């Protein structure tokens, strides 16, 4: 990489002590990766994979068991103060004092970070997250989407070069999700490195420059998004036949063949070993008349399922 990493993690491990008859829980098992400066970096994984533990370590809320982590060049062990000043965390939970206004929320948070009054950007930040007209309203009167945007502004009061958004669009409607996507892109274009965790794989595929996947506390992938999506070998061809059929075609090149409508079938094949033209030739050779054809490329969801399923089987 041409520039130093925004976040540098090496052999990071976290073991939670045994509770009762339960064995110790290994939440992170020697994870190592870099978050490049200036990118939107996706951190994905199933529930319980270790993502929240990793974020809480970066936030200074959880003590790591071993390994190292640096934020903007500041080591968490040797320079915790500057490391914490270099990162803003937007948590999943929406929690505010209901009797503070958005302006007061930002001013109080800036004070906790030691930002001088003359250097505070509270009104500017409210404008950036489209809440300028709500500066004097009580936080309890804000909608769920407004509260999420206020959380982002709160994480930016000390002007950190890195911001972590933990499931920022969980439980919000489609329009609000689009607005938050736009806000994340604006922050990144303004020079902020963004780390995004999400369960919406479409979101990660559209927004992220690079994606790391964690499963069972281990890093199982860390690649540019396009390269990760390119790992998917399966492709689907959807064929509309000229008549209804109760007999499905078969061939060694077909990984799967399924009926999806009265006259529609889906054939899944390995694009490394065959192509759609060969699939159609096989169908016609077996007496199936073809009226219409469409294909579907594999996406990030297909890769995610394949990788996490394989990792789970290996762990077992």
DSSP string, 249-269: ---TTEEEEEE-SSSEEEEEE
**Predicted pLDDT at 315:** 55
> pLDDT, tens digit, for every residue of 14-62?
999 988 788 899 999 999 999 999 999 999 988 889 999 999 999 999 9
- Give the Cα separation of 39 and 194 in Å (integer): 6
Q: pTM score, two decimals?
A: 0.79
Cβ-contact 181, 206 below 8 angstroms? yes
Q: Considering only CA atoms, which of 242, 306, 223, 224 is closest in space to residue 270? A: 306
Taking the C-alpha atoms of residue 165 and residue 297, their distance in angstroms, rounded to an integer, is 29
- The answer to whether 86 touches 5, Cβ cutoff 8 Å, is no
pLDDT of residue 1: 43
Could you give the maximum distance between any two Cα atoms of the chain, in Å? 79
Write the DSSP symbol of residue 41.
E
CA distance 244 to 237: 18
pLDDT of residue 314: 58
pLDDT computed for residue 176 by the predictor: 81
The CATH number of the structural domain formed by 234-297 is 3.30.70.1560
Domain boundaries, the chain: 5-229, 234-297
Q: How far is CA 3 from the centre of its chain?
A: 23
Taking CA 20 as the corner, what is the angle to CA 15 and CA 25, rounded to the nearest 5 degrees? Answer: 20
Quote the distance between the C-alpha of residue 296 and its chain's center. 23
Low-confidence residues of the chain, pLDDT below 70?
A: 1-3, 298, 310-316
Two domains, one topology: 5-229 and 234-297? no
Residue pair 182/168 in contact (Cβ under 8 Å)? The answer is no
Query: What's the Cα-to-Cα distance from 228 to each of 107, 156, 193, 223, rounded to whole Å?
Result: 42, 30, 20, 6
Edge to edge, what strands does the sheet with 5-16 contain?
25-36, 5-16, 66-71, 74-75
Write down the pLDDT at residue 298. 67
Tokens 């008349």 belong to which residue? 289
| Neighbour tally for 239: CB within 10 Å | 24
The class that CATH gives domain 5-229 is alpha beta
Q: Locate 155 and state its tokens.
A: 């994480």
């Amino acid at each position: 990489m041409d520039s130093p990493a925004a976040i540098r993690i090496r052999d990071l491990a976290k073991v939670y002590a045994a509770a009762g008859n339960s064995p110790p829980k290994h939440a992170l098992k020697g994870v190592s990766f870099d978050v490049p400066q200036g990118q939107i970096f996706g951190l994905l994984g199933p529930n319980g994979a270790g993502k929240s533990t990793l974020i809480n370590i970066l936030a200074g809320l959880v003590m790591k068991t071993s390994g190292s982590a640096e934020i903007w060049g500041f080591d968490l062990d040797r320079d915790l103060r500057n490391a914490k000043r270099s990162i803003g965390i937007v948590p999943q939970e929406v929690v505010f004092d209901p009797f503070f206004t958005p302006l007061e929320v930002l001013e109080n948070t800036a004070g906790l970070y030691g930002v001088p009054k003359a250097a505070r950007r509270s009104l500017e930040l409210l404008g950036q997250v489209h809440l300028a007209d709500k500066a004097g309203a009580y936080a309890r009167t804000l909608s769920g989407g407004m509260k999420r945007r206020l959380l982002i502004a709160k994480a930016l009061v000390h002007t950190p070069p890195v911001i972590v958004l933990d499931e920022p669009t969980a439980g919000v409607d489609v329009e609000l999700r689009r607005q938050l996507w736009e806000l994340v892109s604006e922050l990144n274009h303004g020079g902020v490195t963004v780390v995004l965790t999400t369960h919406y794989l479409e979101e990660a595929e559209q927004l992220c420059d690079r994606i790391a996947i964690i499963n069972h506390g281990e890093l199982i992938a860390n690649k540019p998004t396009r390269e990760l999506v390119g790992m998917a070998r399966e492709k689907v061809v959807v064929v509309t036949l000229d008549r209804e059929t109760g007999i499905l075609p078969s061939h060694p090149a077909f990984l799967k063949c399924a009926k999806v409508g009265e006259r529609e079938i889906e054939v899944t094949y390995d694009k490394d070993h065959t192509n759609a033209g060969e699939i159609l030739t096989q169908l016609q050779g077996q007496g199936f008349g073809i009226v219409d054809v469409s294909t579907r490329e594999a996406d990030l969801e297909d890769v995610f399922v394949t990788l996490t399923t394989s990792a789970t089987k290996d762990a077992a």
